[in-house]
């Protein structure tokens, strides 16, 4: 299959040529594979065990622009390998912790393993597999290498700017996850190329330092924004501004960052542009397995089954064939190995109420339900990211979406809520509501409580199973209302919203201390 730099139009032809380095007959898988096996970054054998063989040195690598560009592509290969692990993904690292309000074990088999139970109930420990950060730091190390060597290698200005901007975005994106999940985390800014480096055994840096560095990396990505291109599997101008907006709202609402962060968020969202024209007309089309980089997608991680990827966390929402009546298997019930997660009955009721009372067009995509069990039991599953149903088990070949324009619209409404511009917040909320309910001005009450209620409602109804809702509830200081068990646990663990560090990571690095409040 001929490789083409995705999403490049005629106006990008020169830049596209530079980016792919004349590799016209190499497909995307091969580019990622080359980047992954190139001897320019560390092998990962465990949590923060990212040191490379110190027989390798800068003397036998980083000689050409090819080294830098392939290594830049490799950053995103490593990022994908982090987020498609069985227990490490944006769902486990966020939304699953909303808890019983949204989630529970399978309605058919009542199955859920100990890792899943601990995440859903926020009772994780140092042995919880979802708490691993190893591959996140491997991605950071790859970005560090590109940022170190891109300034010195002989290459065009466009290539250098592309590599620098992509690496800065990826490092900021990964550290943003790390700081929100663990608070104080190791802050490595140079590649680990020798076992004698102090970065090999880092301490946890104050989260304030990490957040400051994230801001600097976003600024670096913005400085190079014209060279980033339009490929949605990598950073684009809109992806950088989405990260800037989300980071700025987080800093304002959870880190006492002050009004200046609202200004930064406003700059980012204005650069993106808030308009219904950027949304897909039909909600379910956003998650298409055939129109992957559609107009609503801003940033996605490629999920190509030719690479043998697991397809991500959606595998856990689907049912085993022995529990589904044969005539309903993959029609309409997606068949996999074991269903571990299901919506709670409470959340099923919320979705159905929205469809019945408000004709919410999203519900059929967000909720599959029926008496399809082998013994006539009622079962549920999400219908988004459904994959290839022509095969059993269903082939999970949809891309996983990390930013889409509907989130930009919601963040714009959230920004205006913080600024007490309640009419402006309603205007943005009603962009989301118009697609969902088919009516203009669905939300009308322009006051603080009504806008806050509408924000929370639309986050729940627009983004279930996308890993977004947990973070929105924390920003809006509403997580305690929807998972009250967290409030009671906070009395003995002030860091209940954070995660523990694994025993594996601390065994490898004696300088790491456990997150206070966790074992």
Give the model's pLDDT for residue 195.
85
What's the pLDDT band for 252 if we cut at 50, 70, 90? very high
Q: Which helix (H) or strand (E) holds 370?
A: strand 368-370
Please answer whether residues 156 and 187 qualify as being in contact, where contact means their C-beta atoms are separated by less than 8 angstroms. no
pLDDT exceeds 90 at position 184 = yes
Check pLDDT > 60 for residue 104. Answer: yes
CB atoms within 10 A of CB 158: 17
Tokens, residue 301: 């991680």
Residues 6+ apart with CB under 8 A from 410: 428, 429, 432, 455, 458, 459, 462, 472
The region of weakest confidence among 161-175, 249-263, 314-328 is 314-328
Note the pLDDT of residue 315: 86
pLDDT of residue 116: 87
Q: What percent of the chain has pLDDT over 70?
A: 86
**Cα distance between residue 249 and residue 255, in whole Å:** 9
Q: Which of 169, 85, 196, 180 is nearest to 134 (CA)?
A: 85
The pLDDT of residue 12 is 40
Bridge partners, residue 381, by sequence = 368
> How far apart are the C-alpha atoms of 201 and 513, rounded to whole Å?
12
pLDDT value at position 114? 81
Which range, 24-33, 107-116, 171-180, 322-331, is most confident? 171-180
Cβ within 8 Å of residue 36, ≥6 positions away: 74, 77, 78
What per-residue confidence (pLDDT) applies to 107? 67
> pLDDT digits over 361-378, tens only?
999 999 999 999 998 889
Write down the H helix ranges in 438-483.
448-462, 469-475, 479-482
The model's pLDDT over 408-436, given as tens digits with 9 standing for 90+, comes to: 999 999 999 999 999 999 999 999 999 99
- What average pLDDT does the chain have? 88
> Of 119, 120, 121, 101, whose CA–CA distance to 481 is shortest?
101
Which range (20-24, 141-145, 457-461, 501-505) has the least confidence? Answer: 20-24
Distance (Å, whole) CA 305 – CA 391: 13
Strand 335-336, strand 319-320: pairing: parallel
Q: What is d(CA 417, CA 252) in angstroms, rounded to the nearest whole number?
A: 12
38-59 pLDDT, tens digit each: 433 333 333 444 433 333 345 5
**Quick check: 514 and 129 in contact, CB under 8 A?**
no
The whole-angstrom separation of Cα 98 and Cα 300 is 23
3-state secondary structure of 509: coil
**SS3 readout for 314-334:** HHHHCEEHHHECHHHECCCEC
Instruction: For residue 194, name the pLDDT band (cuts at 50, 70, 90).
Output: confident
Cis peptide before 117 (omega within 30 of 0): no
Which among 293, 301, 314 is positioned nearest to 395, based on CA atoms?
314
Residue 332: cis peptide before it, omega within 30 degrees of 0: yes
Instruction: Report, in angstroms and rounded to the nearest whole number, the Rg of the chain calculated over CA atoms.
Output: 23
Give the residue with greater pLDDT, 139 vs 199.
139
pLDDT at 7: 37
Structural contact between residues 168 and 218, judged by C-beta atoms closer than 8 angstroms: yes
The C-alpha atoms of residue 371 and residue 260 are separated, in whole angstroms, by 53
Specify the length of the chain in residues: 519
> Among 154-163, 209-218, 299-308, 389-398, whose mean pLDDT is lowest?
299-308
Question: How far apart are the C-alpha atoms of 32 and 295, rounded to whole Å?
Answer: 24
Structure tokens at 218: 């976003």
Paired with 329 in beta bridges are: 333
Instruction: Indicate whether 10 pLDDT > 70.
Output: no
The mean pLDDT value for 272-288 works out to 97
Confidence of residue 304 (pLDDT cuts 50, 70, 90): confident
Q: Report the pLDDT value the prediction gives residue 47, as an integer from 0 to 100.
A: 40
pLDDT of residue 49: 42
pLDDT at 157 over 80: yes
Quickly count: other Cβ atoms within 10 Å of residue 123's Cβ: 12
Structure confidence at residue 29 (pLDDT)? 41
Confidence of residue 340 (pLDDT cuts 50, 70, 90): confident
């Amino acid at each position: 299959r001929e490789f083409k730099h995705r999403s490049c139009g005629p106006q990008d032809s020169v830049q596209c040529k530079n980016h792919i380095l004349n590799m016209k007959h190499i497909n995307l898988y091969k580019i990622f594979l080359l980047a992954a096996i190139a001897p320019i970054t560390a092998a990962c054998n465990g949590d923060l065990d990212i040191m490379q063989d110190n027989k390798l040195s800068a003397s036998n690598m980083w000689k050409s622009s090819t080294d830098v560009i392939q290594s830049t592509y490799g950053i995103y290969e490593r990022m994908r390998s982090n987020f498609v692990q069985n227990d490490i993904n944006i769902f486990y690292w966020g939304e699953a912790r909303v808890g019983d309000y949204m989630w529970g074990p399978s309605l058919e088999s009542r199955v859920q393993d100990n890792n899943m139970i601990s995440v859903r109930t926020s009772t994780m420990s140092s042995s919880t597999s979802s708490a691993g950060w190893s591959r996140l730091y491997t991605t950071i190390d790859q970005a560090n290498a590109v940022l170190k060597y891109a300034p010195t290698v002989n290459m065009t200005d466009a290539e250098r700017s592309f590599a620098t901007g992509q690496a800065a975005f990826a490092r900021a994106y990964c550290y943003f996850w790390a700081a929100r999940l663990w608070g104080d985390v190791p802050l490595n800014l140079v590649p680990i190329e020798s076992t004698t480096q102090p970065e090999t055994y880092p301490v946890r840096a104050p989260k304030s330092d990490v957040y400051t560095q994230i801001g600097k990396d976003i600024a670096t990505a913005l400085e190079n924004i014209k060279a980033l291109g339009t490929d949605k599997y990598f950073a684009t101008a809109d992806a950088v501004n989405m990260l800037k907006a989300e980071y700025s709202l987080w800093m304002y609402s959870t880190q006492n960052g002050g009004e200046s962060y609202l200004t930064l968020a406003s700059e980012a969202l204005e650069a993106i542009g808030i308009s219904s024209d950027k949304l897909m007309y039909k909600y379910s089309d956003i998650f298409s397995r055939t129109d992957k980089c559609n107009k609503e997608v801003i940033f996605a991680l490629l999920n190509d089954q030719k690479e043998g990827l697991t397809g991500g966390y959606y595998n856990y929402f689907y049912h085993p064939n022995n529990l589904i009546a044969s005539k309903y298997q993959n029609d309409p019930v997606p068949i996999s190995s074991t269903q571990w997660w299901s919506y709670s009955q409470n959340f099923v009721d919320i979705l159905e109420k929205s469809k019945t009372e408000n004709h919410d067009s999203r519900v059929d995509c967000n909720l599959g339900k029926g008496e399809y069990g082998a013994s006539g039991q009622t079962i549920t599953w999400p219908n988004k990211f459904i994959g290839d149903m022509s095969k059993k088990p269903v082939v999970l070949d949809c891309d996983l979406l990390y930013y889409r324009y509907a989130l930009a619209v919601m963040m714009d409404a959230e920004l205006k809520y913080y600024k007490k511009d309640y009419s402006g917040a309603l205007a943005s909320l009603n962009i989301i509501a118009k697609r969902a309910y088919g009516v203009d001005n669905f939300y009308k009450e322009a006051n603080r409580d009504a806008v806050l209620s509408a924000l929370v409602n639309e986050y729940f109804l627009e983004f279930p199973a996308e890993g977004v809702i947990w973070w929105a509830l924390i920003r809006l200081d509403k997580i305690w209302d929807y998972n009250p068990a967290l409030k009671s646990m906070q009395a003995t663990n002030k860091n209940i919203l954070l995660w523990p560090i694994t025993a594996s990571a601390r065994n490898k690095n004696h300088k790491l201390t456990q997150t206070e409040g966790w074992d």
